[in-house]
């Protein structure tokens, strides 16, 4: 049966390898070991669910992009799947645009939010639910979620009194004609006019990023993924629409999220950029969204031709320190 366009499904852009599947997928912070003990000792205790996923310990991904210590208060919104369980103080639930279809245990939004937090520990991250627990969603819900995140009025949704300065979209919509749909482009343009920067995953099809939205929309910071060798990942979409690359790992060496968990995909490259952008906007409040996008490119470290054949990795590898302090 042919699915109508408004019912077209999307998917998140990441995969995971979980060596602690019986415990929980995710990342632990040292401050949450008490919760771990309680949930292990009393498995039937109400509330024994993921508490806070934060990158714990050294990470090749954070080292590669030169993340300096510290953070900067910024409002960031993740347009993604549902969140489970109680939340840490820096993480918040936004509206659910799926009409109740987001039931089920999900990990993707937690991981994306945690990577933003790893780069900018002072960011306040809100997750807007537009996908179900399996990473599937409707195009209309995604557009509504993006619009709400940027502070645009959305019928039936509460007024967003704290619009995001940065939106992370680790998801894709098919764009076979390599064009950003006019209604989606209008949402992106309206967000940019308010000073909001949209960071989007390029997609995991091993093809052209131009065939995936919102990464192919004008004004979006499209992010592709690199392996631990800082080469374009075989699964990652690349091309002229990509602005910058960041670590995304692969099946063998994913981004180490701690506690025996790793993940790979452009889904996890994008939030590293979103976290960096959120710090830059706080340090440079006078930068427009366009100026910020330009600075992301200028501050990147160029990659050798062999690392990204065809030059489809944008300006190169994200460098957070150079983005924050351009005269470094």
Closest CA to 111 of 226, 13, 237: 13
* Annotated active-site residue in 32, 66, 108, 117: 108
Q: How far apart (Å, rounded) are the C-alpha atoms in residues 152 and 139?
A: 17
Task: Give the CA distances from residue 57 to residues 93, 155, 256, 258, 282, in Å, rounded to whole numbers and listed in that order.
Answer: 26, 43, 9, 7, 26
Q: Is 108 a catalytic residue?
A: yes
Please confirm whether the linkage preceding 214 is cis (ω < 30° from 0). yes
Q: Is 267 a catalytic residue?
A: yes
Q: What is the DSSP letter of 30?
A: G
Task: Give the CA distances from residue 191 to residues 167, 185, 256, 288, 292, in Å, rounded to whole numbers and listed in that order.
Answer: 9, 10, 32, 11, 14
> What three-state secondary structure class fits 256?
strand
* Annotated active-site residue in 16, 241, 262, 267: 267
> For the stretch 179-212, what's the b/e string if a residue is b when 16 or more beta carbons lie within 10 angstroms of its beta carbon?
ebbeebbebbeebbeebbbbbbbbbbbeebbbbb
Q: What residues form DSSP beta bridges with 12? A: 171
Q: Which residues contact 305 (CB under 8 A, 6 or more apart)?
A: 311
Angle, nearest 10°, between helix axes 289-299 and 182-193? 90
Decide if 126 contacts 92 (C-beta within 8 A).
yes
> What three-state secondary structure class fits 49?
coil
* Annotated active-site residue in 15, 16, 32, 80: 80
Catalytic residues: 80, 108, 267
């Amino acid at each position: 049966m042919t699915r109508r366009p408004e019912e077209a499904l999307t998917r998140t852009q990441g995969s995971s390898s979980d060596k602690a599947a019986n415990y929980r997928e995710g990342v632990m912070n040292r401050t949450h070991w008490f919760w771990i003990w309680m949930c292990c000792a009393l498995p039937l205790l109400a509330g024994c669910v993921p508490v806070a996923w934060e990158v714990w310990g050294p990470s090749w991904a954070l080292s590669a992009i030169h993340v300096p210590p510290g953070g900067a208060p910024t409002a960031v919104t993740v347009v993604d799947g549902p969140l489970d369980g109680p939340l840490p103080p820096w993480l918040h639930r936004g509206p659910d645009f799926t009409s109740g279809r987001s039931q089920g245990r999900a990990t993707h939004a937690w991981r994306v939010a945690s990577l933003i937090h790893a780069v900018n520990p002072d960011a306040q991250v809100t997750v807007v639910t537009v996908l179900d627990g399996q990473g599937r969603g409707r195009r209309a819900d995604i557009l509504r979620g993006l619009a709400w995140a940027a502070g645009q009025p959305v019928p039936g949704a509460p007024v967003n009194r704290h619009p995001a300065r940065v939106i992370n979209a680790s998801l894709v919509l098919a764009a076979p004609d390599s064009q950003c749909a006019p209604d989606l482009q209008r949402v992106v343009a309206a967000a940019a006019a308010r000073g909001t920067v949209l960071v989007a995953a390029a997609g995991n099809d091993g093809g052209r990023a131009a065939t995936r939205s919102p990464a192919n929309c004008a004004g979006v910071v499209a992010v592709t993924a690199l392996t631990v060798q800082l080469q374009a990942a075989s699964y990652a979409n690349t091309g002229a629409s990509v602005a910058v690359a960041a670590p995304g790992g692969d099946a063998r060496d994913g981004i180490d999220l701690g506690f025996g968990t790793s993940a790979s995909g452009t889904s996890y490259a994008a939030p590293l950029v979103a976290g960096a952008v959120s710090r830059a906007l706080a340090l440079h409040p006078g930068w427009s969204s366009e100026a910020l996008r330009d600075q992301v490119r200028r501050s990147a470290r160029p990659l050798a031709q062999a690392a990204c054949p065809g030059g489809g990795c944008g300006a190169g590898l994200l460098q957070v320190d150079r983005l924050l302090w351009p005269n470094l």
